[in-house]
Chain A
């Protein structure tokens, strides 16, 4: 049989051994070690290759590829609330004697009460910030880890190996989400229940692409 009649995906070389077609490597760039490392900031909601982030039970050869948090714009409601509440004591100091003339407490005690008020606001600001900060998703070169903190007393950790990822998709519904480009990313795994979700994540299309490329490369 002449050699030039053998065509198709598998080509016989001179030694008679089969050669497969070179596979596409769309994610090769992500897994190279000469990529740029970035520094995740205290307000970072998306960071590629953050060199200053580590997590518990991280393997020695495991590298964080992507850090995902909710878009920072989602913190605007509580930031505005705390700012407006912070304006309340000066208003009360002026309007208080007019509307509540029967209330008279010593200046020292009222100063301490105002100090306590601002301390409470600082405490709640720290609480809301901590809930945003620790609600994080990490994509590494081996797995995806999702840490959910619905409130400060509860934390839930889920993880899925890259090779178990079956599908990655995202939704971006509404005007605000479209304007600020954030949405929900869903990672479907082969397990029955273990689906991961990154809600209100920035640049969901980019996250979907990166995770999809990593899963394909695996």
Chain B
């Protein structure tokens, strides 16, 4: 693969909006997944400090569902 092929490949990539949007989407989704992981972990720590019967587990569950949804979204974007 020489320099010309690489430049042609980058040119094709930048002319295809779908691929650009896909790459951008995957990058921000990865960052968002990290955010949801940290959020879920912190909610878990805080529910041990202050515990409300039933609702603490619901809150933790909602946080982890967000993480799962973002991972599913990454998979969906990759295979679209």
| Interface status of A98 (Cβ within 8 A of chain B) | no
* Residue ID in chain B nearest A113 by CB atoms: B25
Interface pair A109/B80, CB less than 8 Å apart: yes
Considering only CB atoms and an 8 Å cut-off, how many residues of chain B contact the other chain?
A: 34
Chain A interface size band reads 20 to 34
Query: A108 an interface residue at 8 Å Cβ cutoff?
Result: yes
A127–B50 CB distance below 8 A? no
A71 CB to closest chain B CB, in angstroms?
18
B78 to chain A, nearest CB (A): 10
C-alpha spacing A136/B55, complex, angstroms: 15
Q: Is A53 touching B29 in the complex (CB atoms < 8 A)?
A: no
B5 within 8 A of A: no
Could you tell me the dominant secondary structure of chain A's interface residues? mixed
A130 touching B39 by the CB < 8 A rule? yes
Q: Which of B36, B55, B76 contacts A123 (CB 8 A)?
A: B36
Q: Does B42 lie within 8 Å of A153, measured CB to CB?
A: yes
Decide if the interface of chain B is mainly helix, strand, loop or mixed: helix
Contact of B69 with A119 in the complex, beta carbons under 8 Å: yes
Q: Which residues on A sit within 8 Å (CB–CB) of B69?
A: 119
Flag if B46 contacts A149 (CB, 8 Å).
yes
CB of A176 within 8 A of chain B?
no
Q: Could you tell me if A126 and B63 are in contact, using CB atoms closer than 8 angstroms?
A: yes
Name A75-89 residues within 8 Å CB distance of B.
none
A130–B66 CA distance with the chains assembled, in angstroms: 14
Chain A CB within 8 A of B49 CB: yes
- Is the beta-carbon distance between A103 and B17 smaller than 8 angstroms? yes
In angstroms, how far is the closest chain A Cβ from the Cβ of B61?
11
Q: Which residues of chain A are near B9, meaning CB under 8 Å?
A: none
A112 in contact with B77 given A105-B21, A126-B62 (CB within 8 Å): yes
User: Which residues in A have their C-beta under 8 angstroms from that of B48?
Assistant: 56
Inter-chain contacts of B39 with A (CB < 8 A): 123, 126-127, 130, 152
| CB within 8 Å of B: which A126-142 residues | 126-127, 130, 133-134, 136, 138
Q: Which residues of A contact B (CB under 8 A)?
A: 40, 42, 52-56, 103-106, 108-109, 112-113, 115-116, 119-120, 122-123, 126-127, 130, 133-134, 136, 138, 147, 149, 152-153, 155, 157
18 contacts between A and B (CB under 8 A): A53-B51, A55-B50, A55-B51, A103-B17, A105-B17, A109-B18, A109-B21, A109-B22, A112-B25, A115-B73, A116-B29, A119-B32, A123-B66, A133-B59, A134-B50, A152-B39, A155-B46, A157-B49
A105-B18, A116-B32 are known; give 4 further A-B pairs, CB within 8 A. Answer: A40-B52, A109-B25, A119-B66, A152-B42
Which residues from chain B sit less than 8 Å from chain A, CB to CB?
A: 17-18, 21-22, 25, 28-29, 32, 35-36, 38-39, 42-43, 45-46, 48-55, 59, 62-63, 66, 69-70, 73, 76-77, 80
